[in-house]
Copies of this chain bind each other. A is one copy, B any other.
């Protein structure tokens, strides 16, 4: 068995000089979950295909670690210089995190070697810089797997200015937090939903970036770059985690014809960009409401309609397939044009502002809430108007939910502050997508 595997692999490891056209030599930076999946997919690709793929080296940190991919020892290197010395046709960066990924990607691009990455943290933080280096050297820099890993659309929009003239972005781009909120209707607590996700292997060992909205914020930042809106650091966005969501909030949303989903939202007008990442009330009539589990979805409104994309949002297999399609594009394309919008001008930094939006509010009191009419009166005195409120059974007066008409957050906060003080109740507040 080992012999057979070695036989199969021989062609995949010979350092080999100039090659017949049709063979694409790949250097893998990183051999973790995604890197191993990429390696397996390369080894499983029949060589009869249109282009043969070959891994000439894989950069690893821990040579002693056991790995479930049959790359021969001569391929596993701890020194990046040795990887580059084998002159790969394409570098695939799947290290994750900023360093050493940033330095190595820069190095490859500066030497004119195309780079494919699945690393959203890197692109969110330094995509603008890397894209400009790529444009200068003429080496493609592709990152299709960074947003909705399994659905190719970023590269497409980079090439198509009219489709990419997007003014509104709505989406669910973090499968883990979406799965957790879906599960919470059954498990009742986030902790129990997390335990279930871990048991099923659906969450990362450390799910904090998913729960706190960091992963989704990075993806929104990548999207804003790709659509040419500008540069924004993920931490500069209005980001909220799902850790404050109560199962009873989800129930209350359901009473008002909606569901709580972890969304990204961004709107662009002539002079302002507003953006938000976090749990929001999504009406059941909105197609995002039916995006469940690990599926991701994105609705992009442009000058002539709304483009809707959905599909597998993560997972080593989908990510590896997308990475290898990027490798194929990078190796066969006309270099720098890909992903470099008009020679990659420096994107301006954007300061997202506060949107005027509808809100979903849930009030809970230890004992009894004031009559609905009194609540509406108090909110009205702040200029907050209700579009819908939940009708509670007469026997239950300790909780209610309502949807406001669009209003800015500051005004809502003042009103809610006055209300919770006067009525001695607690309020959960969520942004609401328009129905």
Contacts and interface: CB of A to CB of B under 8 A. Distances in A.
Given A304-B321, A306-B311, A337-B332, A152 B156 contact: yes
B162 A324 contact: yes
Interface in A278-325: 287, 290, 297, 302-312, 315, 317-318, 321-322, 324-325
A146 to B, nearest CB: 15
A155 interface: yes
A118 interface: no
Q: Which of A152, A302, A312 has the most CB of B within 10 A?
A: A152
A50 interface: yes
A161 interface: yes
A49 interface: yes
Contacts of A308: 297, 308-311
Interface string A118-153: 000000000000000000000000000000001111
B312 A305 contact: yes
Q: Which of A163, A305, A334, A341 has the most CB of B within 10 A?
A: A305
A160 B328 CA distance: 7
Say which size band chain A's interface belongs to. Answer: 35 or more
Interface in A219-262: none
A159 interface: yes
Contacts of A328: 159-162
Given A308-B311, A310-B308, A152 B161 contact: no
A20 interface: no
Contacts of A6: none
A413 to B, nearest CB: 35
A304 B308 CA distance: 19
B312 A304 contact: yes
A110 interface: no
Contacts of A342: 50
Contacts of A333: 159, 334, 337
A50 to B, nearest CB: 4
A317 B303 CA distance: 9
A329 interface: yes
Contacts of A287: 287, 290
Contacts of A153: 153, 156
A318 B301 CA distance: 12
B163 A322 contact: yes
Given A321-B163, A322-B163, A325-B160, A309 B312 contact: no
B307 A161 contact: no
A60 to B, nearest CB: 25
Contacts of A334: 333-334, 337
A307 B342 CA distance: 29
Contacts of A341: 50
B160 A329 contact: yes
Q: Which of A153, A163, A303, A329 has the most CB of B within 10 A?
A: A163
B309 A162 contact: no
Contact of A303 (B152, B311, B321): B321
Leading 4 A-B pairs by shortest Cβ distance: A305-B312, A334-B334, A160-B325, A162-B321
16 contacts: A50-B161, A150-B163, A150-B304, A150-B307, A159-B325, A160-B325, A160-B329, A287-B290, A290-B290, A304-B317, A307-B309, A309-B309, A333-B334, A333-B337, A334-B334, A334-B337
Given A49-B161, A163-B321, A334-B334, 7 more contacts: A150-B305, A152-B156, A159-B333, A162-B322, A304-B318, A305-B315, A332-B337
